[in-house]
Chains A and B, each alone.
Chain A
Amino acid sequence: MKANHKKMVKAPLTIEQKIKRSTFISFGAFAALGTGAIAGWNWLLDAPEETPGITGGTRTPLRRALNKTEIFFRNFFSSKHLVKTYPIAEAVKTPRVNSLIGIEDDEDFDVSNWKLIVKLSNKKHWQIGIEALKELPKTEIVYDFKCVEGWDEIQHWAGVKLSDFLAHFKLEEEAQKQYMGLETPNGAYYVGLERESTLHPQTLLAYEMNGKPISIEHGAPLRLIVPVKYGIKNLKRIGTMAFSDKRPRDYWAEQGYDYYSGL
C-alpha cells in the first residue's frame, strides 16, 4: 500500500512528461513525413517533360507510370472479352464528328483513286482497292463507341474483320509483329496498335456506317473500328498499313496521352 502511494505522488509528473515527449516525437515525425510528401509532390510537378519521340508531352515519371500500368492491365486482356453489342435500332442516326485531322487538311485527296497501301517488311508495297475489300465477308457491329473525352455513342459500322483481311491477303506472318501502324494518306494522323487489339474479333476495317458507305468526315472510304480502344485509335481514312515490333508513331501518344488507351 505504501509503495502504491509513492507511485501516486510521482506519477503526475511522469505522465505530463510522457505526454509532452510522445506528442513532440509524433508531431515531429508527422511534420517530417509531411515535408517529404510535399517535396515528392513538387518533384513530380517539376519533373522534366519526356524527350519527344514515340510518346511525348507528359512528365517523364508519369509516362513511366502509364507504361507500367499498361503492362499490368494487359494481363487482363483477352480476345474472348467482347464489347457489348446493341440492336441496330439503338444506333444514333448522325454519329458525332469529333476530329478531322488528316482529312480536312488534305485537299488533294480523291476518293476514287484511293488504294490501301500495305507496307511489307521486304520493302514492297501492296495496293488494295476498296472493291477487293468489299468482296470479303462483311461483318457488322453496333456498339458503344467511347471517346477518351468521356462521351460515348451507340454507332453502327460494317466492314471486313481485320483478322479476316490479314488471313485473306496472307499477311498473317507480317501480323506476327507486335504492332500495326496505320496512317492517313497525308500522314497527318497516325495510330499504333498492339497485335492483340488488331486481331480482336470485333476490330474492323469499316467501309459502311448505318448501312451506307462512310461519309468523308467519318473517314471514307475505309476507316478503322477498334472497339477495344478509345476513339482516338479509330483512325479515319486509312492510307497506309505497316507492321513493326516497335511502337509505331501515334498522334495522341505524342500529345501526352497513354499509348495503349485500351478499354
Chain B
Amino acid sequence: MKVIKEKHSLLMRWTHWVNFPVLIVMIWSGLFIYWANDAYGISIFDFSLIKFFPEWFYDYFHISGRLAEGMAFHFLFMWFFFINGLLYIVHTVISGAWRALLPNKHAFKEAWLVLLHDLHIRKAIPPQKKYNAAQRIAYTAILFMGIGSITTGLAIYKPVQFYWLCWLCGGYHFARILHFTLTIGYIFFFLIHIVQVLLAGWNNFRAVVAGFEVVEEQPQLKDDLITTEKTEDKDESKS
C-alpha cells in the first residue's frame, strides 16, 4: 500500500528553487563581466584547446559590451545568492538535516557502487536513506562550491579591504580563476543533475516541490512494524 513519507523540509525546497534562478542570473551577469577581459582558456604547450568563449556564443546571448550592466546585476543578486545559501546552511545545521547530507565513512566506496549501478554495470545498489552516497558527495560539494564562490567573489570584489581573503584565495589572479572555475563547475553539476532528476522520475521530483514521497510498503511488513511499535509503546506506557 502507498504511504506518504515526508522527505524535504519547506526551507530546503524554498532555498533550492530560489537558488536556481538566482544562480542563472549570477552566471548570466558574470558573463557580461567576463566578456570585458576574456582571458581564460586551456592550452597545452601553447596549443589552445579551449577558449572561453567563441564569438558566436557572445553574439547569441547578447553578452558583448554590457560590463556596467553585468556588474549592477551581479552586485544586486549576490545578496540573494548569499542570503539564500546562508539560510539553507543555518537550517541544515540546526535541524540536523546535515546528518542525511554529509558524506559518511563509506561514502566514496558506496558512491562508486552507485555510479556502477547508474551506468547499468551493477544491478544492486547500496542501501540508502534520504540521499545515496553519490548524492551526499555531490550535494555537499555544491554547498562548498557556493561558499567558495562567495569567498572568491569577495576577494575579487574588495581585494584591498578583504586583503586577507584575497591572500587566502591565493591572490587576485587565482581568486578570479577559482571564481570562474566554480562557475564552470555549476554548469556541469546542472547538466548531470537534470539527467539524474529525469531518470529518478516523478516521485523524486515531486518531493522537491511538495516535500513528500509516496512509498510503497507491503502490508505484511507494515503489520510487523506495527506489532513491534506496539510492544514498544506498551513498554513505554509501563515505565
Measuring CB to CB, which residues of chain A are less than 8 angstroms from any residue of chain B? 4, 8, 11-12, 15-16, 18-19, 22-23, 25-27, 30, 33-34, 37, 41, 57-59, 61-63, 65-66, 69, 73, 76-78, 81-84, 144, 146-152, 227-228, 252, 255-258, 262-263
Contacts and interface: CB of A to CB of B under 8 A. Distances in A.
24 contacts: A8-B219, A11-B1, A15-B1, A15-B2, A27-B209, A30-B209, A37-B21, A61-B76, A62-B69, A62-B72, A62-B73, A62-B76, A66-B75, A78-B161, A81-B161, A82-B160, A83-B160, A150-B34, A150-B176, A255-B68, A256-B69, A257-B71, A258-B72, A258-B75
B212 interface: yes
A148 B161 contact: no
B172 A146 contact: yes
A146 B163 CA distance: 14
A19 B106 CA distance: 35
Contacts of A262: 158, 160-161
Nearest to A22: B210
Contact of A15 (B4, B39, B206, B226): B4
B159 A146 contact: yes
Contacts of A257: 68, 71
Given A15-B1, A151-B37, A73 B68 contact: no
B211 interface: yes
Contacts of B163: 81-82, 84
Given A62-B73, A62-B76, A63-B72, A149 B3 contact: no
B37 A149 contact: yes
Nearest to A45: B73
B17 interface: yes
A57 B68 CA distance: 9
Closest 5 A-B residue pairs measured CB to CB?
A: A150-B37, A26-B210, A256-B68, A149-B36, A62-B72
Contacts of B137: none
Nearest to B202: A23
A147 B68 contact: no
Contacts of A228: 160
Given A15-B2, A30-B209, A151-B39, A66 B161 contact: no
A33 B75 CA distance: 23
Given A77-B161, A152-B172, A263-B158, A256 B72 contact: yes
B169 interface: no
Given A18-B4, A59-B72, A255-B68, A144 B206 contact: no
Interface string B152-178: 000000111111000000001100100
Interface residues of B, number: 37
B67 interface: yes
A177 B73 CA distance: 31
Contacts of A149: 36-37, 67
A83 B162 CA distance: 10
Nearest to A149: B36
Interface string B30-72: 0001101101000000000000000000000000000111011
A150 B70 CA distance: 13
A36 B44 CA distance: 47
B68 A19 contact: no
Contacts of B161: 73, 76-78, 81, 262-263
Contacts of B2: 12, 15-16, 19
B63 to A, nearest CB: 14
Contacts of A255: 68
